[in-house]
Amino acid sequence: MPAILTIATQPYPDQKPGTSGLRKRVAVFRQPHYLENFVQSIFDSILPPAGSTLVLGGDGRHYNLEAIQIILKMAAANGYARVLVGKDGILSTPAASCVIRKHATFGGIILSASHNPGGPEGDFGIKYNAANGGPAPERITDSIYETSLKISQYRVMDAPDIDLHRTGEASLGEMKISIIDPVADYADLMESLFDFDAIRGLFKGGFRIKFDAMHAVTGPYAREIFINRLQAPEDSIMNAVPLPDFGKGHPDPNLTYAHDLVDILHGENAPDFGAASDGDGDRNMILGRHFFVTPSDSLAILTANATLVPGYREGLKGVARSMPTSSAVDRVARTLDIPCFETPTGWKFFGNLMDAGRVTLCGEESFGTGSSHIREKDGLWAVLFWLNVIASRKQSVEEIVRQHWARFGRNVYSRHDYEAIPDDAAKGVMEHIRAEFGNLPGKSFGSYKVEHCDDFSYTDPVDGSTSKGQGLRLLFTDGSRIVFRLSGTGTEGATLRIYLEAYDPEISRHGLDAQEALCELIGIARQISQLEARTGRKAPTVIT
């Protein structure tokens, strides 16, 4: 029996999980005992009962395999009976949620920094997902952090590394390790939800797609689903081999970082449909020929068309969106007479609603959409949902979106990201806006008049917990909004996000470019925030 070592350590003060776990530079995780401290803090916080099974895998980025070997030995030393780990250490975030739920495990550890860059100089991340398959609720992440501040030792088994390059069984002491096909369970779930025959018929009829895996985790999933099961042509996928540095790209599926795909969809002889996913597979971007679908519109359109899809033919129990996401889906929910919930950013808030049976579909403006089939957002699920709707309606992406706007009106929407702002400057912007709240109501800015401002607070209707300080909102009398929020997903400086939304029911204006239609609101946001004076930034890093 391999020896179990107890290693003395000291706390690190910076291990507070954000909205999606702990994310730092690879070099930070490589510090002595850093990863081990956090993993032991997880185990000491969740206290897995005897006989527990853990799911383990990640997005394949740099340090993924090394970290998995450490976590396996720590799981063995902490009394786990079994670990399900993806072959080659691979498990997309939605696939990990699927495996946790299908095999009824005591949660899982996912290694990913999502859409952040990879490689030796890039980012790494780790998070714990609970037994429902979703991100750990705040009571657990708070406990993990508190434990990390007083940790003095961790336990690890002194044993050789496990060969993760082939499926099969292995062991570390008494702990069994099942090295699983990372794709199979997830692909089977997708086939149970969508009409694969109808989508297959699209491709046989000459419908062309281009899916960009961005050299991230969804490459093997896209190959199995699109090429093997749906029989799409081989050239339907691009950048489909996962690489530790994501091919030196930035695996964030938006108009800036997925520019190669955008160019293809806006070029000559463009395919009918384009899509991309991110580092860990939970985000999606949807494109038609010469046409971009905002994530907010995508959620609303999937909601309006859900009964066309086999897995949702019985209708939806409700929908939910994060507060910064446009209210386009609210209008659909009112028409369908189903509840619509507005939550803080973070998928864990949707998990409570789904577990309670209150919502079926949910989404965030940050290119995340999902449903109660798992407890994470799901990039390939959204792509398949769109393909199923297209196969049923026999219309192009643009036709579907424009008909939706004609029926419900258009919520013109955009997000401006100012990345890597010095923390003090970013906090200064937010403090200045908050200080102006007493002066803004009733004040006019051009054609807009401020009706109300607040710092969004949410009381969970399921467990009664309250989350405060979730974003600064400026609400105008015509229903338009400006939202300011500091993002918790970066590792360097702060990302200040400005969300802009204006409702327009007039069909004759639905062809306007979003930046043109929102030009006046953009100017108001910059004026009220004193953004340029306080940060020196003249333009956003990313516009979506």
Please check whether residues 308 and 241 belong to one and the same domain: yes
| Domain C-terminal end among 182, 203, 235 | 182
Model confidence over 152-179: pLDDT tens digits?
Answer: 999 999 999 999 999 999 999 999 999 9
What are the Cα distances from residue 326, in Å, to 4, 311, 461, 474, 503?
A: 52, 25, 21, 14, 9
Please check whether residues 155 and 252 belong to one and the same domain: no
> Is residue 184 scored above 90 in pLDDT?
yes
> Is residue 356 scored above 80 in pLDDT?
yes
Task: Write down the mean pLDDT value for the chain.
Answer: 95
Using CA atoms, how far apart are residues 44 and 31, in angstroms rounded to an integer? 21
Q: Are 370 and 381 in contact (CB under 8 A)?
A: yes
| pLDDT band of 489, cuts 50, 70, 90 | low
Please check whether residues 245 and 372 belong to one and the same domain: yes
Using CA atoms, how far apart are residues 300 and 54, in angstroms rounded to an integer? 35
pTM, entire model: 0.93
Enumerate the active-site residues: 114
Model confidence over 252-283: pLDDT tens digits?
Answer: 999 989 999 999 999 999 999 999 999 999 99
> Is residue 488 scored above 60 in pLDDT?
no
* Token couple for 309: 């899809």
Please check whether residues 385 and 484 belong to one and the same domain: no
Full domain range(s) for residue 289 = 186-408
Side-chain-facing half-sphere of 49: CA atoms under 13 Å: 3
Please check whether residues 205 and 353 belong to one and the same domain: yes
Burial class (CB in 10 A: 0-12, 13-18, 19+), 476: buried
Model confidence over 229-254: pLDDT tens digits?
Answer: 999 999 999 999 999 999 999 999 99
Specify the long-range contacts of residues 437-441, CB closer than 8 Å, at least 24 apart: 440/474, 440/528
Using CA atoms, how far apart are residues 249 and 116, in angstroms rounded to an integer? 10
Higher pLDDT, 493 or 174: 174
CATH of residue 327's domain is: 3.40.120.10
Please check whether residues 222 and 260 belong to one and the same domain: yes
* Token couple for 278: 């991110």
What are the Cα distances from residue 8, in Å, to 74, 81, 151, 384?
A: 14, 25, 9, 49
pLDDT at residue 467, as a whole number: 87
pLDDT at residue 346, as a whole number: 83
Please check whether residues 242 and 335 belong to one and the same domain: yes
Please check whether residues 274 and 342 belong to one and the same domain: yes
Please check whether residues 439 and 387 belong to one and the same domain: no
- How many structural domains compose the chain? 3
Model confidence over 79-102: pLDDT tens digits?
Answer: 999 999 999 999 999 999 999 999
- Beta carbons within 8 Å of 392's beta carbon, 6+ residues apart: 195, 198, 305, 308, 309
CATH of residue 533's domain is: 3.30.310.50
| pLDDT band of 20, cuts 50, 70, 90 | confident
| Domain C-terminal end among 371, 387, 408 | 408
pLDDT at residue 544, as a whole number: 84
HEC-encoded secondary structure of 366-402: CCEEEECCCCCCCHHHHHHHHHHHHHHHCCCHHHHHH
Please check whether residues 33 and 120 belong to one and the same domain: yes
Please check whether residues 254 and 373 belong to one and the same domain: yes
| Domain C-terminal end among 408, 437, 458 | 408
pLDDT at residue 394, as a whole number: 98
- Of the candidate ranges 52-66, 119-133, 206-220, 461-475, the one whose mean pLDDT is the lowest: 461-475
Please check whether residues 328 and 473 belong to one and the same domain: no
Model confidence over 190-230: pLDDT tens digits?
Answer: 999 999 999 999 999 999 999 999 999 999 999 999 999 99
